[in-house]
Amino acid sequence: MTGSVLAGFPATTIRWRDQLDTPAVVVDLDIVERNLRRGAEFAASASVDFRPHIKTHKIPALARAQLELGACGITAQKVSEAEIMADAGLDDILISFNILGRTKLQRLRALAERVRLRTVADNATVIDGLSSAFSGTPDRLGVLVELDGALKRCGVPTVEHAMDHARKVDRAAGLRFDGFMIYPAPDHWQDALTFLAACKDAALQAGLDPRVLSTGGSPDMVKFAPDANVTEYRAGSYIYNDRALVSMGGASVSDCALTVHATVVSTPTPTRAIIDAGSKSLSSDLFGLSGFGMVRNRSDADIFALSEEHGHIEFADGAPAVGDHIAIIPNHACVVSNLTDHVQFVRGDYWVGEQRVEARGTVQ
- The CATH number of residue 258's host domain is 2.40.37.20
- Asked if residue 306 and residue 214 are part of one domain, the reply reads no
Residue 146 lies in a domain: yes
- Asked if residue 64 and residue 179 are part of one domain, the reply reads yes
Residue 182 lies in a domain: yes
Residue 37 lies in a domain: yes
- Asked if residue 208 and residue 87 are part of one domain, the reply reads yes
Lowest mean pLDDT among 1-15, 229-243, 275-289, 320-334: 1-15
| Residue 1 scores a pLDDT above 60 | no
The count of domains in the chain is 2
Average pLDDT rounded to a whole number, residues 32-50: 97
- Asked if residue 87 and residue 61 are part of one domain, the reply reads yes
- Last residue within a domain, chosen from 238, 253, 285: 238
Residue 359 lies in a domain: no
- The CATH number of residue 138's host domain is 3.20.20.10
Residue 180, Cβ density class (10 Å: 0-12 exposed, 13-18 middle, ≥19 buried): buried
- Asked if residue 300 and residue 192 are part of one domain, the reply reads no
What is the average pLDDT value for the chain, to the nearest integer?
96
Lowest mean pLDDT among 84-98, 121-135, 219-233: 219-233
| Residue 358 scores a pLDDT above 70 | yes
309/225: higher pLDDT: 309
* pLDDT bracket for residue 223 (50, 70, 90): confident
Residue 336 lies in a domain: no
pLDDT in tens, 190-211: 999 999 999 999 999 999 999 9
* pLDDT bracket for residue 2 (50, 70, 90): low
| Residue 3 scores a pLDDT above 80 | no
Average pLDDT rounded to a whole number, residues 184-188: 89
SS (HEC) of the chain = CCCCCCCCCCCCCCEHHHCCCCCEEEEEHHHHHHHHHHHHHHHHHHCCEECCECCCCCCHHHHHHHHHCCCCCEEECCHHHHHHHHHCCCCEEEECCCCCCHHHHHHHHHHHCCCEEEEEECCHHHHHHHHHHHCCCCCCEEEEEEEEECCCCCCECCHHHHHHHHHHHHHCCCEEEEEEEEEECCCCHHHHHHHHHHHHHHHHHCCCCCCEEEEECHHHCCCCCCCCCCCEEECCHHHCCCHHHHHCCCCCHHHCCEEEEEEEEEEEECCEEEECCCHHHHCCCCCCCCCCCEECCCCCEEEEEECCCCEEEEECCCCCCCCCEEEEECCCHHHHHCCCCEEEEEECCEEEEEEECCCCCCCC
Residue range(s) defining the domain that contains residue 155:
29-238
Q: What percentage of the chain has pLDDT greater than the value 90?
A: 95
Question: pTM for the whole thing?
Answer: 0.96
pLDDT in tens, 90-109: 999 999 999 999 999 999 99
- Last residue within a domain, chosen from 238, 265, 282: 238
